[in-house]
């Protein structure tokens, strides 16, 4: 599968795109087209997963059961998470990788263009399969995205579809990662040394290794669930001598690196945007690279912080507690460097910068609640409450998702050749940033007061905060329609032409190309000099 790359690059030296619709999109091997496909797909999934979240928040608007059956509610929480994690955030990052990595390192395309086409086109099938379970007799998966047995084994026949869908997503991610690594290691323009690469490229390189290391473990875990469910094995089935807690160990060996898979590229994007709008080079570039690498390494030895309540021995609790707290150190280094980059910079606040700053502030809140959860003694109280829900939504929504928005606004003029509406971009930011806090901040209090997660009904003492949270949720959900409006306007209507540089402070190879960039860019490798690239080693 690896040898094809040369022959493809040969056919079309000119800039024309394939003319037929199918030729252009279904058979495409062009990294820009595949990037677009990934991004559009993930936006669609973002709205499907988002409408499930609206169902959840509507049911939780008031105490009591009003809209949906509890069983369906459980399917909604499970599917919402699976779709958002595997369908929205991860493919969106792969979309960015496809669009940007070749342009950022001066390569003509991804290393393995045909495999690239495959990695994308598997996804619509995987998610059609996953979503189809909602229409089956036994319903969709309802045991939570973590698929813990024994509950996940008590579902019906549709469980097989869930497992195969997870397999397909995993294969897609692994192929995508192999492509990213091969591109970065083999296709850099001469002179683009590893320590001159933009931070987004670095974070993706490390993310790709994480993906190859842990997606297969998830595949193994769900395969064992599959055979336990349908073929009478007892890997996790206590009745047959298996151990349900062992599933949790295997799952979180995947699961914790997985949360970093969703956040590392976000770190990368924010590290591109903040220097541009602060008009200063990134503070501590090398430290950022090492911090990313150490976060990735540490993410393999903290998994049991998700399992403090299973009855581990004290030494285990202590080990995982300290290891988890250790992760906060490189994370803190990053936040420090972003703030230092802004310090005394001549800052302007265009939409990408607003989202990036929103990211730094709100992600940090999520990091701090993570530290609270990392304390084993405290986690016995917080585990499986809304406090955990608040924590991971702070790191994922105003974390990963804000970084995705920031990146989309940042590169949209480059991709389309038109400026988006700055006014509507800013409205989108402010409505999102305010409503996301109305949505998730009260959930901290709900959790501290003991409201359990994944429950469709609750005691009346939790009523007020839930109503506030739901209102925030509806506003946040609706405000994402603004985003779609801005994109559609930018692509089809905007008459304001973008220059190649787009942002006056932008550095990096992608900005040396026209906007939109030619269909095939960097067929001859660019000349790398310190004025065109973002990160020049400081010591000279």
Dihedral of alpha carbons 384, 390, 392, 397, sign:
positive
What residues form DSSP beta bridges with 83? none
305 has catalytic annotation: yes
Closest distance to ligand HEM from the beta carbon of 276 (Å): 23
Catalytic choice (59, 109, 272, 510): 109
Helices then strands (H, E): number in the chain?
Answer: 17, 0
Rounded to whole angstroms, the Cα distance separating 512 from 535 reads: 15
Nearer to Cu ion, 256 or 393 (CB): 256
27 has catalytic annotation: no
Residue 263 touches ligand HEM, criterion: CB under 6 A: yes
Catalytic choice (249, 453, 454, 501): 453
Rounded to whole angstroms, the Cα distance separating 383 from 307 reads: 9
Catalytic choice (28, 77, 207, 331): 331
Cα 476 from chain centre: 18
Residue 196 touches ligand HEM, criterion: CB under 6 A: no
Dihedral of alpha carbons 72, 74, 79, 80, sign:
positive
Does residue 327 contact residue 335 with C-beta atoms inside 8 Å?
A: no
The three-point CA angle 363-404-519 to 5° equals 155
Closest distance to ligand HEM from the beta carbon of 438 (Å): 21
331 has catalytic annotation: yes
Rounded to whole angstroms, the Cα distance separating 314 from 305 reads: 13
Closest distance to Cu ion from the beta carbon of 260 (Å): 8
Q: Is 125 helix (H, G, I), strand (E, B) or coil?
A: helix
Nearer to ligand HEM, 110 or 406 (CB): 406
Residue 183 touches ligand HEM, criterion: CB under 6 A: no
234 has catalytic annotation: no
DSSP secondary structure letters along 337-361: HHHHHHTT------HHHHHHHHHHH
Q: Is 497 helix (H, G, I), strand (E, B) or coil?
A: strand
Q: Out of Cu ion, ligand HEM, another protein, none, which partner does residue 496 contact, by CB within 5 to 8 A per kind?
A: none
Rounded to whole angstroms, the Cα distance separating 224 from 233 reads: 8
Nearer to ligand HEM, 167 or 256 (CB): 256
458 has catalytic annotation: no
Q: Length of the chain in residues, anyone?
A: 540
Q: How far is CA 241 from CA 122, 152, 226, 236, 393, in A?
A: 37, 17, 17, 8, 37
Closest distance to another protein from the beta carbon of 212 (Å): 5
Does residue 254 contact residue 215 with C-beta atoms inside 8 Å?
A: yes
Closest distance to Cu ion from the beta carbon of 317 (Å): 15
Closest distance to Cu ion from the beta carbon of 69 (Å): 31
Binders of ligand HEM among 315-374, rule CB under 6 A? 324, 327-328, 331, 367, 370-371, 373-374
36, 146, 416, 532: residue in contact with ligand HEM (rule CB under 6 A): 146
The three-point CA angle 91-176-23 to 5° equals 80
Closest distance to Cu ion from the beta carbon of 302 (Å): 6
Dihedral of alpha carbons 83, 89, 94, 96, sign:
positive
Which tokens sit at 337? 């460097």
Catalytic choice (31, 32, 57, 80): 80
Nearer to ligand HEM, 53 or 487 (CB): 53
Which tokens sit at 198? 């933009």
Binders of Cu ion among 419-448, rule CB under 5 A? none
Rounded to whole angstroms, the Cα distance separating 34 from 149 reads: 37
Binders of ligand HEM among 71-100, rule CB under 6 A? none
Which of these segments, 95-103, 178-186, 279-287, 370-378, binds another protein (CB under 8 A)?
178-186
Catalytic choice (25, 38, 145, 420): 145
Residue 262 touches ligand HEM, criterion: CB under 6 A: yes
Does residue 466 contact residue 447 with C-beta atoms inside 8 Å?
A: no
Q: How far is CA 110 from CA 34, 147, 179, in A?
A: 10, 34, 7
Rounded to whole angstroms, the Cα distance separating 98 from 526 reads: 19
Residue 53 touches another protein, criterion: CB under 8 A: no
227 has catalytic annotation: no
User: CB under 8 Å to 331, separation ≥6 — which residues?
Assistant: 291, 295, 367
Nearer to another protein, 30 or 364 (CB): 30
Nearest of 159, 96, 169, 64 to residue 126 by alpha carbon? 169
Which of these segments, 81-89, 179-187, 333-341, 504-512, binds another protein (CB under 8 A)?
179-187
Nearer to ligand HEM, 32 or 391 (CB): 391
Q: Out of Cu ion, another protein, ligand HEM, none, which partner does residue 31 contact, by CB within 5 to 8 A per kind?
A: none
Size of site (CB under 5 A) for Cu ion: 1
Binders of Cu ion among 248-267, rule CB under 5 A? 256
105, 181, 199, 419: residue in contact with another protein (rule CB under 8 A): 181
260 has catalytic annotation: yes
109 has catalytic annotation: yes
Does residue 204 contact residue 97 with C-beta atoms inside 8 Å?
A: yes
Binders of another protein among 286-315, rule CB under 8 A? 311-313
> Which positions lie near Cu ion, rule CB under 5 A?
256
> Which positions lie near ligand HEM, rule CB under 6 A?
146, 259, 262-263, 305-306, 324, 327-328, 331, 367, 370-371, 373-374, 379, 382-383, 388, 391-392, 395-396, 399-400
> Which positions lie near another protein, rule CB under 8 A?
1-3, 5-6, 9, 108, 111-112, 174, 177-178, 181-182, 185-187, 212-221, 223-224, 232, 235, 238-241, 243, 245-246, 249-250, 253, 311-313, 316, 523-524
Q: Which residues are catalytic?
A: 80, 109, 145, 172-173, 256, 258, 260, 271, 305-306, 331, 334, 453
């Amino acid at each position: 599968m690896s040898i094809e790359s040369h022959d493809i690059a040969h056919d079309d030296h000119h800039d024309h795109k394939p003319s037929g619709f199918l030729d252009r999109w279904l058979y495409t091997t062009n990294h820009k087209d595949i990037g677009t496909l990934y991004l559009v797909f993930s936006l669609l999934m973002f709205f499907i997963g988002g409408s499930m979240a609206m169902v959840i928040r509507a049911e939780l608007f008031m105490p009591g059961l009003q809209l949906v059956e509890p069983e369906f509610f459980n399917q909604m929480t499970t599917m919402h998470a699976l779709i958002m994690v595997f369908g929205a955030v991860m493919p969106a990052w792969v979309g960015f990788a496809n669009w940007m990595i070749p342009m950022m390192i001066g390569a003509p395309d991804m290393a393995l263009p045909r495999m690239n086409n495959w990695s994308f086109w598997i996804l619509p099938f995987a998610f059609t399969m996953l979503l189809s379970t909602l229409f089956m007799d036994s319903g969709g998966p309802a045991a939570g995205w973590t698929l813990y047995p024994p509950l996940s084994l008590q579902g019906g026949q549709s469980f097989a579809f869930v497992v195969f869908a997870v397999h397909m997503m995993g294969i897609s991610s692994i192929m995508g990662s192999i492509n990213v690594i091969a591109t970065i290691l083999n296709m850099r323009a001469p002179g683009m040394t590893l320590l001159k690469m933009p931070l987004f490229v670095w974070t993706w390189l490390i993310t790709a290794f994480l993906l190859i290391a842990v997606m297969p473990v998830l595949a193994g875990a769900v395969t064992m669930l599959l055979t336990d469910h349908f073929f009478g094995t007892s890997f996790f089935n206590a009745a047959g001598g298996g151990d349900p807690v062992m599933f949790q160990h295997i799952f979180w060996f995947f699961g914790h690196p997985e949360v970093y898979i969703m956040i590392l590229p976000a770190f990368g994007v924010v590290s591109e945007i903040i220097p541009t709008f602060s008009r200063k080079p990134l503070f501590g570039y090398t430290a950022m690279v090492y911090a990313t690498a150490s976060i990735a390494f540490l993410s393999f030895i903290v998994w049991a912080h998700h399992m403090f309540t299973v009855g581990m021995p004290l030494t285990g609790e202590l080990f995982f507690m300290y290891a988890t707290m250790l992760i906060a150190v490189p994370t803190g280094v990053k936040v420090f460097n972003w703030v230092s980059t802004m310090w005394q910079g001549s800052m302007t606040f265009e939409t990408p910068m607003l989202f990036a700053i929103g990211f730094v502030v709100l992600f940090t809140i999520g990091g701090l609640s993570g530290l609270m959860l990392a304390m084993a003694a405290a986690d016995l109280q917080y585990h499986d409450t809304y406090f955990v829900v608040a924590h991971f939504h702070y790191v994922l929504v105003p974390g990963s998702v804000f970084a995705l928005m920031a990146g989309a606004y940042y590169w949209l003029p480059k991709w389309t050749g038109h400026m988006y509406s700055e006014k509507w971009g800013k409205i989108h930011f402010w409505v999102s940033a305010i409503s996301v806090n109305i949505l998730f901040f009260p959930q901290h209090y709900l959790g501290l007061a003991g409201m359990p997660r994944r429950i469709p009904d609750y005691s009346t003492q939790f009523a007020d905060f839930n109503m506030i949270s739901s209102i925030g949720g509806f506003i946040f959900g609706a405000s994402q329609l603004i985003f779609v409006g801005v994109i559609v306007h930018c692509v089809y209507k905007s008459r304001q032409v973008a220059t190649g540089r787009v942002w006056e402070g932008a550095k990096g190879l992608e900005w040396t190309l026209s906007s939109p960039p030619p269909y095939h860019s960097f067929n001859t490798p660019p000349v790398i000099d310190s004025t065109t690239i973002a990160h020049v080693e400081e010591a000279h």
